Structure 1
Amino acid sequence: MDSTISDSIDDGNYTYGEVIEPCEMPQLLNIRRFLQVYVHSVICVAGFVGNTLVILTYAFYKRTKSMTDVYLLNVAITDILFVVALPLIIFSEHSGWALGDWSCKFLRGVYSINLYSGTLLLACISLDRYLAIVQARRSFRLRSQALVYSYVSCAAVWLLALGLALPTFIFYQRYKDTEETVTLPDEDDNVSTGPVLEQEYTCFFRFEKNDTARRVKLLVPSTQVALGFCLPLLVMAFCYASVLITLLRAKNFQRHKAVRVVLTVVLVFVVCHLPYNATLLYDVVNMFELYDCHEVERTQLTLVLTESLAYLHCCLNPLLYAFVGVKFRNHFRKILEDAWCLGKRYMGARRTSRVTSEAYLSSRRSEGSSYENATSFTM
């Protein structure tokens, strides 16, 4: 918000109005910095490790043989991209986006793509499970060509996410607001120069026309709430509700475990994403209203906190969708066993090499100390 001055002239005397400056929110800045340094770091590390294990499992042990496998692999890829882009965004914010305008557009664009693709792929997984369990007979022919349809679906999701992220690539810019010098008359009608308002470089929407700014600033978050949360939530609610009804009717001793898994998946999605999207919707509805600084700070603080909660979902996706499966856990256990065996072989080789080196050193020491440097180099 630019600083504005309201003043009036009465009988040649100036009546000074109040200077309206941007809200100072030190508490928000401190909390945001704490979240970025500590909470987001833990989320990025945990998300990177978990999703990397999923990708390694599919790459070396469990081939993508079903639609769910393809969807899970793509979810892991989008989560990996997210946890890599997030630290770069945080670093760029603290360095004033020193890499330039392209980094602003690219990193924010990748973030936006992952925002849409992640939730839409989770909706695809719920639809696949609905077809496999509720419509098993009718979807048999469809699922016989599962890989083809899954690849087409994932390509469509990525293209849709790219299309929804286009406003970010187009309108986001790295810029620094023009320094403003506030000119005020003093008591002797002499012109005095007020404070110079300076701002650091930022990466955000920037527009040439006010009409475009209003439309895009309303459209982008509204689309995010509608297609990035509400649509996937409706698809998941319908599909998993149908799956629950089918499982409860089935006479299977494992149905209770399957029901718990389904409920956990839906509950975690709602808990992670609903608070942020509800706050974002509230902010959109009241975007062009005037509020005092305390109300603005409360809204922005809620957005920051709930956004961190939404980030947590990328850590939970591997646990909810991949490692909960028995076959996937077996493949992951195989990874750990192979890694342990490789570690033992490596340690055994080092131990054998060390014993050989020690025997060699002892024999060389008996010949004299002139070869000490050479034997040290051999170790």
Structure 2
Amino acid sequence: MESVSPNYDYSTESYSTEDYPDEDLCHLDPNPTEVLTQSYIHSIICAFGLIGNALVIVTYIFYKRTKTMTDVYLFNVAVADQIFVVALPFIIYNEQHNWLMGLVACKILRSAYSVNLYSGMLLLACISGDRYIAIVQARRTFGARSRSLIYSRIICLAVWLFAVALTLPTLIYTKRFEESSLGSDTETVMCQMSFSKNETAKLMKVLVPSLQMAIGFLLPLVIMVFCYSSIMWTLLRTQSNQRHKAVRVVMAVVVVFIMCHLPYNVTLLSHTMSLFKERSCDVEKIKLRVLAISRSIAYLHCCLNPILYAFIGVKFRSHFCQIIKDLWCFGKKHLYSSSRVTSDFCVSGVKPSSDGSNNMSSFSA
């Protein structure tokens, strides 16, 4: 049976046999069918993510405005997801064309997911904390939340800076390099984390995935479970039909979060724990395949965030309908520019929302 050398580089998903010349080479490159399937899946995620998050961003800029802390957090979540889904097609293109865009693009594109992961997950935790304060601690904070908009912007800035700081190892150690295939004159261009010192490699192999699991998954999960459990307990004690609908929305938020991110983080944990052990080549191939599939499922959360955190609200749905009407209206205006009726109808298009929002607006079905 083939075995895998202990000097496996986690980030490159390849194995070095230079120190083990007598061992058989373990080929871990995915087959073309897997690459093509993954490209199609990522393209679908990119398309839906671009549309959904763009609608959220447009709604907050031109229609709804950001009047509450949750609005500020939702807007920043959409921006974080949009950054990643914009980078995703460039990642797909470069992976299939030997990273033609160069080293700078290699570093930025590889760092895009990390920034999205940390900022997006921490912002979702902020949303759950804000909902907890608004619903569970409503009496204690009554009248104070309208004056806390500046604090939410400061918190978002801190989250972004923290996310960038946690991404620095990926940005610094990601390199574009050529790797020769055994028994072939062809060279494959890679864009992965690479280390010149063995001590640095050992540290980063554990540090990067550990931070991703701890701060990008476990910390937001603990906060969300605590806050949303308290919210559900509070809502179930009321007799409001609207609030009982909100309980189902809360359940959907938690379940979707766990379903998207738990498989990838469990696989990543298992993968990290076995980095410095000798592994079977066949088992490692299966692990990497599962890791790739679960990573795509985690990417899917970028498409679902707009639905879960924005479009589920009654007021947000009304703004979304207004966007569709305005797009239809302006389309007719350009098509029939001579029609005065169409032109007059379009004047009432973009209007910021002037009605206040209550504590349940983000969870109303």
TM-score normalized by structure 2? 0.84
For the residues of structure 2 that align with 1:291 and 1:215, how far apart are their CA atoms?
Answer: 20
Instruction: Choose the corresponding residue for 1:65, options 46, 50, 67.
Output: 67
Matched, 1:270 2:258: yes
Instruction: Choose the corresponding residue for 2:307, options 301, 315, 319.
Output: 319
For the residues of structure 2 that align with 1:146 and 1:67, how far apart are their CA atoms?
Answer: 7
Residues 285, 122 of structure 1: alpha-carbon distance in 2 compared, 3 angstrom cutoff: same
For the residues of structure 1 that align with 2:144 and 2:80, how far apart are their CA atoms?
Answer: 26
1:293, distance to aligned residue in structure 2 (A): 1.7
Point out where structure 2 has 5 or more consecutive residues left out of the alignment.
1-14, 341-365
Aligned to 1:22: 26
Q: What is the SS of the residue equivalent to 1:261? A: helix
Deviations 1:289-337 (A, max 9, x none): 1222210111001011111111111111111110111111111111122
**Structure with the larger RCO, 1 or 2 (CA within 8 Å, 6+ apart):** 2
Alpha carbons 1:126, 1:240 under 8 Å: kept: yes
Q: What is the SS of the residue equivalent to 1:254? A: helix
For the residues of structure 2 that align with 1:167 and 1:334, how far apart are their CA atoms?
Answer: 44
Q: What is the SS of the residue equivalent to 1:204? A: strand
Structure exhibiting the larger radius of gyration computed from Cα positions: 1
1:32, distance to aligned residue in structure 2 (A): 3.0
Aligned to 2:35: 32
Aligned to 2:325: 337
Aligned residues: 326
Residues 5, 307 of structure 1: alpha-carbon distance in 2 compared, 3 angstrom cutoff: closer
Aligned to 1:190: none
Point out where structure 1 has 5 or more consecutive residues left out of the alignment.
7-16, 181-194, 353-379
Residues 61, 139 of structure 1: alpha-carbon distance in 2 compared, 3 angstrom cutoff: same
Q: What is the SS of the residue equivalent to 2:337? A: helix
Aligned to 2:4: none
For the residues of structure 2 that align with 1:331 and 1:123, how far apart are their CA atoms?
Answer: 25
For the residues of structure 2 that align with 1:247 and 1:255, how far apart are their CA atoms?
Answer: 6
1:254, distance to aligned residue in structure 2 (A): 1.2
Aligned to 2:147: 145
1:94, distance to aligned residue in structure 2 (A): 1.5
Residues 140, 197 of structure 1: alpha-carbon distance in 2 compared, 3 angstrom cutoff: farther
Q: What is the SS of the residue equivalent to 2:130? A: helix
Q: What is the SS of the residue equivalent to 2:60? A: helix
Residues 23, 63 of structure 1: alpha-carbon distance in 2 compared, 3 angstrom cutoff: same
Alpha carbons 2:333, 2:339 under 8 Å: kept: no
1:178, distance to aligned residue in structure 2 (A): 6.7
Letter in 1 for 2:312: V
Letter in 2 for 1:286: S
1:35, distance to aligned residue in structure 2 (A): 1.4
1:53, distance to aligned residue in structure 2 (A): 0.7
Aligned to 2:12: none
Aligned to 1:13: none
Aligned to 2:244: 256
For the residues of structure 2 that align with 1:19 and 1:345, how far apart are their CA atoms?
Answer: 70
Q: What is the SS of the residue equivalent to 1:176? A: strand
**Matched residues, percent identical?**
51
Q: Which moved more, 1:213-222 or 1:99-108?
A: 99-108
Instruction: Choose the corresponding residue for 1:216, options 204, 209, 214.
Output: 204
Deviations 1:234-278 (A, max 9, x none): 000000000000001112121220000000000000001100111
